[in-house]
Structure 1
């Protein structure tokens, strides 16, 4: 049985599924496109400022950091894992950079250190999950508190300001001669990179195989532990990169930054079609759902909807994203 399972996994990793035109147009991503159009039309009807091209591009400033963290989270959830510590990793990385800058280090030194700390945080999560065999939920719930606590220990309640202009340009400015934010271009580059990694490489096919049957993957010779550690390190890296962009956007660093962002990130991935049970998900789905959530929040902001109500809406969207596909699946089986 183990040998047969191993052969099935090897076939899954090596063979690419044939293209189906009907299957293509029945994909969940088309539903997300339809929702983006519908929500966009609603927003345009309630605010004359929504369809302004400059405003549409400026809207992306509010969710680029979340979108960057959602890219590796897609891989993590496909392997039936979770990372609740992404926002805390962002805070810890940002605090590391701010602390070094506060004590006279050049901002680029602090940025490199922040990236290193983020990757180390992801590596620690991955090792606890693979070597100590702790559940991802338990590990990242613990580091959710640990990393945020370390950020407070480094900076306390006092924000760090005064970053050089060239650094803040990354988070605040646009591509010369266009309304396109520099941070949006950064997101597009990484979205393309993660999309190719997940859907066009053996590494990505192994990620899907692990989510479908981790036990069989081990029999097939796939280094499951190494792949898991790497995707958690990707998560730490992207959280640290998000920390740099956020610090540049606000021109300062506080230890309470990104509070609650983990909910948005997980919602974006699940709404994008990823299965929390593993084995299913697409990068384009995550990207589309990130923009969908951003459009929803932007529309509520234009109508001055309180932040607490926006959180309720985000929680409702997460429940919708989990409930509807399951109900549809049961209906189709019947």
Structure 2
């Protein structure tokens, strides 16, 4: 207390501002704005309405998967099976369509299938107490294998063009896809739940300390179980979206998408150890990753380099926040008399 009161007034007044400027979320948002400015000035066609539409459409599956992934990682868990669930659902979607079922029946059945797939992860993690990393690596392989069991190496492409082209619809001449609107609404719902409800606050409490959360009356196992169900259901939505957008149900749909999702979530400031993070930062991370990949694709950068970019950002997202926290700790220790 004495040290605080004897600090110069100017320092006390500016400390909160400096803290805000040092925050990781602010750095990511600034990086997004700089990336847009640099890409618009240096990459031909980046700022065009047509490319804006393609960029936003590419962001939709990553953003959708990042929403429940954020909640799961906040509790100290992870779900690596989301892309495989999407691929599995895509194949079941194509198989049911080929059998003559209507979209009105296929879509809810596929969402239920995704929820059941997530429930398998939830039982293994929350009921049996197995580590989510090991469990979801296993189900990643399991669901991807089941996708190929359903369709083999075949593809279903007989979807009506009126449906597949409808997913490309834009808002006037802006280039903004119509389907970004429900995704934004869903992101707002997740944000409200996470930041303005007791349930959302309980997720960070679980990530900080499961034992303390249990003593506080939080149903840790039940919470994690439902988070994995939600993750599976959203992954099913992505599988449906992926199938209709590309007009093809294949066993390899959405392969590798989980790395982009996790990279975006961690880049957005969510701690891999749980207990820390917020949704606006995650959304900024999704957008930043999408902008960088889109700009480099327009610049004809090889796909291998884009994969290296995702891996590099994933490492940065883990190392940088911890390095900043370590430097702040050293700074506080050095300033303490």
TM-score of the pair, normalised by structure 1: 0.90
Other-structure match for 1:330: 326
8 Å contact from structure 2 (residues 36, 291) kept in 1: yes
Q: Distance in 2 between matches of 1:103 and 1:218?
A: 48
- What CA RMSD, in Å, does the superposition of the two structures yield over aligned residues? 1.6
**Superposition pairs for residues 126-275 of structure 1, below 5 Å?**
126-175=122-171, 178-275=174-271
Deviation at 1:97, TM superposition (A): 1.1
1:65 alignment counterpart: 61
Deviates more, 1:44-53 or 1:22-31: 22-31
Structure 1 moving runs of 4+ over 6 Å? none
Alpha-carbon distance between aligned partners in 1 of 2:165 and 2:210, rounded to the nearest angstrom: 44
Q: Which structure: larger Rg?
A: 2
State whether residues 170 and 183 of structure 1, in contact with CA within 8 Å, keep that contact through their aligned partners in structure 2: no
1:79 is matched with: 75
Cα distance between partner residues in 1 of 2:172 and 2:47 = 22
TM-aligned CA deviation for residue 145 of structure 1: 0.4
Range with bigger deviation, 97-106 or 23-32: 23-32
Per-residue deviation, residues 13-72 of structure 1 (Å, max 9, x unmatched): xxxxxxx76655543221111111222233223323112233223211122101100110
Alignment of 1:33-52 (within 5 A): 33-52=29-48
Equivalent pair of 1:119/1:234 in contact (CA under 8 Å): yes
Listed as ranges, the matches of 1:84-103 within 5 Å are 84-103=80-99
For residues 210-243 of structure 1, give each alpha carbon's deviation from its aligned partner in whole angstroms, at most 9, with x where no partner exists: 0111111112221111110111111111111111
Length, aligned pairs only: 315
Distance 2:119 2:21 in 1: 38
Between the aligned partners of 1:54 and 1:151, the Cα distance in structure 2 is 33
Cα distance change on mapping 1:228 and 1:253 into 2, 3 Å:
same
Contact map agreement 1:170 1:245 (CA 8 A) in 2: no
Deviation of the 1:126 alpha carbon: 0.8
CA distance in 2, matches of 1:77, 1:38: 28
User: Secondary structure of the equivalent of 1:98?
Assistant: helix
User: TM-score when scaled to structure 2?
Assistant: 0.89
Unaligned runs of 5+ in 2: 1-15, 331-337
Aligned partners of 1:69 and 1:265 also within 8 Å: yes
Q: Which runs of 5+ in 1 are unaligned?
A: 1-19
Q: Describe the superposition over 1:145-195 as per-residue Cα deviations: whole angstroms up to 9, x where unpaired.
A: 001111110011111112134532453222456532123112211111111
